[in-house]
Amino acid sequence: MAFGSDAEKTEQPTGKRISKARNKGNIAFSADLNNAVVLLAGIALLYVLGAITYNSLNSTMKLTLGNLSCKDFNQSAVIDLFVNQLYGLSKILLPILGGLLLIGLVISYLQTGFIFSFEALKFDINKLNIIAGATKLFSTKSLVKLFFSVLKLLVVGGLSYLLIKKEFNQLIHAFDLSLAQILGMLAKSMYSLALRISAVLLILALVDFFYQKWQYKRSLRMTKHEVKEEGKESEGDPLIKGKIRSLQRQMAMKRMMAAIPTADVVVTNPTHYAVALKYESTGMKAPTVVAKGADLLAKRIKDIAKKHNIPLVEDKPLAQTLYKTVEIGREIPQKLYYAVAKVLSYVYQLKKERKG
């Protein structure tokens, strides 16, 4: 059943689905990426600050321990010695440790952004389910995690073996060197090994990061029914929205039909289009379209116009242009002023003749 359910989840997660998951603390996060970046940064800091740190530690130890023979050892002296040593070490090491902490926080923020949730800390009885826990041990996610762990072990072991084998000949001849030279050679070899291992781990961590992103999106995939239901929740039921739009169209149609008797003229195609125009010199800058329609609606407009003695003027190009370019309630564009003015002039003259 679970397989069939997953097979139905073919739709990408919506923004609302992702937001809900984040609020519950469900995010895509690669701990390996944090560890690899911090390890690489730590090695870089040791390379840059190693000599300074060593000299500072050496000076602190000499300064503190140099005059021990002149001091009386009692409880107060031991405590002072311990506090001074702790203070000196903190002053030296805290910049390095603080830098690594800051780098770790920055990488975490770049992965997930700012998130604050207590959902993951809430007690969940389902977490105590032994069967569910055993199932997770053999899940795809666990198998992939095991694969990456074994791969990292093989890579680190193999790379260490190759580098040690490469440096082996130099280490054999190192017995002829002084202790300082031997320590320098060992430090250089260890630094080279650590740097290369951390670079390889960073590459594997980037692969894990993109896998976590892909797996996260995959775990949040939705069925078409879920997408439809979420759309109803956020935007409203499509059936209700359709009814509302239908009512709005009916009300707009009633308003349009009620405005036809106030028109000055109806321009016709004569059969396909009908556009009712109204012009008031006191309140309008230009004639306004109060109603328009095609085919059956055009016939209704003309019937209402005839019933209220509104003149019908046949002008095919003008009727077609007005219908296609001017919305109801809008004034006609300037390019149609001359054509509409001719029609209105004819209508006004016609009304004068009728009155006469």
Domain membership flag for residue 240: no
Residue 341 is part of a domain; what is its CATH number? 3.40.1690.10
Is the pTM above the cut of 0.75? no
Domain membership flag for residue 249: no
Tell whether 38 and 142 lie within a shared domain.
yes
pLDDT for position 137: 61
Q: Which residues of 71-84 are buried (b: 16+ CB within 10 A; e: fewer)?
A: eeeeeeeeeeeeee
Domain membership flag for residue 211: yes
Tell whether 223 and 284 lie within a shared domain.
no
Distances, alpha carbon 349 to alpha carbons 274, 309, 311, 346, in Å: 21, 15, 11, 5
Q: Which residues of 241-252 are buried (b: 16+ CB within 10 A; e: fewer)?
A: eeeeeeeeeeee
- 259: closest CA among 312, 326, 315, 304? 304
pLDDT for position 124: 61
Tell me how many domains the chain contains: 2
Domain membership flag for residue 345: yes
pLDDT for position 139: 67
Tell whether 54 and 155 lie within a shared domain.
yes
Tell whether 120 and 197 lie within a shared domain.
yes
The last residue of one of the domains, among 212, 231, 250, is 231
Distance between CA atoms of residues 56 and 92, nearest Å: 7
Tell whether 165 and 271 lie within a shared domain.
no
Backbone phi, then psi, for 276, in 5-degree steps? Answer: -95, 130
Tell whether 67 and 129 lie within a shared domain.
yes
pLDDT for position 196: 84
pLDDT for position 1: 38
Domain membership flag for residue 255: no
Q: CB neighbours (10 Å) of residue 221? A: 15
From first to last of its 356 residues, the chain has per-residue pLDDT tens of 344 444 477 777 777 777 777 777 777 778 888 888 888 888 888 777 777 777 777 777 776 666 566 556 667 766 777 777 777 777 777 877 888 888 888 888 888 777 766 665 666 666 566 665 556 666 677 777 788 788 888 888 887 788 777 776 666 666 666 666 667 777 777 777 888 888 888 888 888 888 888 888 888 888 877 777 776 666 555 677 777 788 878 887 888 888 888 888 888 887 788 888 888 877 778 888 888 888 888 888 888 888 888 888 888 888 888 888 888 888 888 888 888 888 888 777 777 766 65
pLDDT for position 114: 74
pLDDT for position 126: 61
Domain membership flag for residue 6: yes
Distance between CA atoms of residues 322 and 332, nearest Å: 8
Tell whether 150 and 219 lie within a shared domain.
yes
The last residue of one of the domains, among 179, 210, 231, is 231
Domain membership flag for residue 343: yes
Distance between CA atoms of residues 333 and 325, nearest Å: 9
Tell whether 289 and 185 lie within a shared domain.
no
Tell whether 214 and 275 lie within a shared domain.
no
Token couple for 77: 């002296």
Domain ranges, residue 115: 2-231
Distance between CA atoms of residues 260 and 310, nearest Å: 8
The last residue of one of the domains, among 185, 211, 231, is 231
Tell whether 166 and 312 lie within a shared domain.
no
Tell whether 209 and 267 lie within a shared domain.
no
pLDDT for position 3: 41
Tell whether 219 and 264 lie within a shared domain.
no
Domain membership flag for residue 143: yes
